[in-house]
Amino acid sequence: MGKTFFVAGTDTDAGKTLISCGLLTAANKMGLSTLALKPVAAGAEPGPEGPVNGDAMLLLQTMTEKLPYSQVNPVLFQAPIAPHIAAAQEGRRLQVAQLAGYVRGALMKPADLKLIEGAGGWRVPLNMHQTMASLAVELELPVIMVVGMKLGCLNHALLTAQAIANDGLRLAGWVANRIDPNMDCFEENMQTLAEMLRAPCLGIVPHLADPRDFNKVASYLDLGALGLSPKDPA
């Protein structure tokens, strides 16, 4: 029986995909099978078989259990803007029930670790009545929160954690991702988060020269707090 988590960010560009790929890589190194989905993505680029999203492609390339791109990223919008605005521009409509159906279908494939990566922050609208959080609630998943370490991150992290709890979901753990290498009082901010967030810190990822070095990202992460352990060799 594998473990499934929803990966949320404290803001856009907090590093959800970076950390998701780091978590997948860390699990891969433990001999575990992995699977990741990006149900909604905004921002398309040309692919060999049609438009793709760069973040979704990174997940696809990192996970061990291969799925067709259309299952990893069932909803893709052209413009890199808020999903509900992108949907309106393309004459489409997002509904959580439909997204949840896509996700549940893909999750039928067995894997030791499964990640569902959100888009933007916790309350990014999908339509005028539902947000990205609504999908996590519909799926009843524990949440891994990626904290983009920069000025303002304390407010963003604490509000996001509070919203996750208010929505009835468990914060399984959080990762500090240093997106601003020159952030003042980094250690003091880390201490504040460690004391005020009621969940384990899975790792502190420094600002990396190569943000796609997922092996290095994985080296800063500890999956033990998620209940994952290396698979015994057969």
- In this structure, the dihedral spanned by the alpha carbons of residues 164, 9, 31 and 54, taken in order and rounded to 10 degrees, is 140
Quote the pLDDT of residue 111: 97
Catalytic status, residue 38: yes
What's the distance, CA 6 to chain centroid?
A: 6
Confidence at residue 233, expressed as pLDDT on a 0 to 100 scale: 64
Residues 6+ positions from 1 with CB-CB distance below 8 Å:
none
What global pTM score does this model have?
A: 0.96
Q: What is the pLDDT of residue 195?
A: 97
- pLDDT score for 209: 87
Give the whole-angstrom CA distance, residue 41 versus residue 52: 9
Check residue 234 and give its pLDDT.
55
Output b/e per residue, 184-198; b: 16+ Cβ within 10 A: eebeebbeebeeebe
- Taking CA atoms, 195 is separated from 155, 168, 191, 201, in Å, by 14, 21, 6, 10
* Cβ atoms 122, 164 nearer than 8 A: yes
Which pLDDT score, from 0 to 100, does residue 2 have? 83
Q: Which residues of the chain have pLDDT under 50?
A: none
| C-alpha to C-alpha distances, 48 to 51, 52, 60, 71, 212, nearest whole angstrom | 8, 9, 14, 16, 21
Map residue 112 onto helix, strand or coil: coil
Q: Count Cβ atoms within 10 A of the Cβ of residue 170 and give its class: 0-12 exposed, 13-18 middle, 19 or more buried.
A: middle
The structural domains of the chain, with segments of one domain joined by +, span: 3-225
CATH of domain 3-225: 3.40.50.300
pLDDT of residue 33: 97
Strand, coil or helix: 198: coil
pLDDT digits (tens, 9 = 90+) for 15-42: 999 999 999 999 999 999 999 999 999 9
Q: Name the active-site residue from 38, 66, 109, 216.
A: 38
Cα–Cα distance, 201 to 204 (Å, whole number): 8
Distances (CA, A) of 171 to 1, 99, 167, 177: 20, 22, 11, 17
